[in-house]
Amino acid sequence: MAQPVAIITGAGRGIGRAIAVELAARGYRLVLVSRNENELKETAKLSDPKALIASADVADAQQLRSVVDKTLAAFGRMDAVVNNAGLAPVRPIEEITEAEWRAVLDTNLTAAFLLTQAAWPIFKKQNSGVVVNISSRAARDPFAGLGMYGAAKAGLNLLGLALAREGGPIGVRVHTIAPGAVETAMFRKLLTPEQYPTEKTLAPSDVAKVVADCITGPLAHTSGEVIWLSKTV
């Protein structure tokens, strides 16, 4: 198969859906991952109608290994992984349960590690591959109550740097993109338009273009870096 292939987690809506649309427009075949199959089907309609729909819990290592196996079975190759799945509840520290803490770390950090680890042997064998991790400005400047999310994303930033150094000798690039406020359903669960005006938010497509530039080459030199994105108004 001549077309490159990208796996995208959290692909059912928001930034993940926008990434799918952008990569499809650049000639990529897609593997769309989230727990909501109906949302994934809608993303496929908007991007790649022949995309592989892979309903999976990104916190489950076996399910992520299965996604990689299905990708290779369907397409015979794998060129990029976008770790986009996110979970961002707002909780003051005295209200955080152990289960919530683990869920936030699992979704935002551990899932990226697990999928990248599953993809790594394939990338190493073919001496090429790109990983893009979607972090957040919360990693360095969180709103009050976003400590769990910010801590997980800060860990993701460092993981990206470490893996970029590990991947360099085998032709694997690892990029980290940390947007500020993005106009998504997840963000609007945190702040209303009155609290944070729409004109100050990035569009999901703004983030998607940077992701695609990391994967397709224009930003290839940023492997290991954190690319901080924000809206200038």
Q: Which positions are catalytic?
A: 149
Half-sphere exposure (Cβ direction) of 230: Cα atoms closer than 13 Å: 8
Asked whether 93 and 151 are in contact (CB, 8 A), the reply is no
Q: Measured between alpha carbons, how far is 64 from 110 in angstroms, rounded to an integer?
A: 11
Q: Measured between alpha carbons, how far is 64 from 70 in angstroms, rounded to an integer?
A: 10
- Kindly state the DSSP code that residue 181 receives in the 8-state scheme: -
| C-alpha of 144 from chain center | 23
Tokens of 88: 């961002």
Q: Among 70, 49, 60, 55, which Cα is nearest to 10's?
A: 55
The amino acid occupying position 113 is F
Q: Measured between alpha carbons, how far is 64 from 104 in angstroms, rounded to an integer?
A: 17
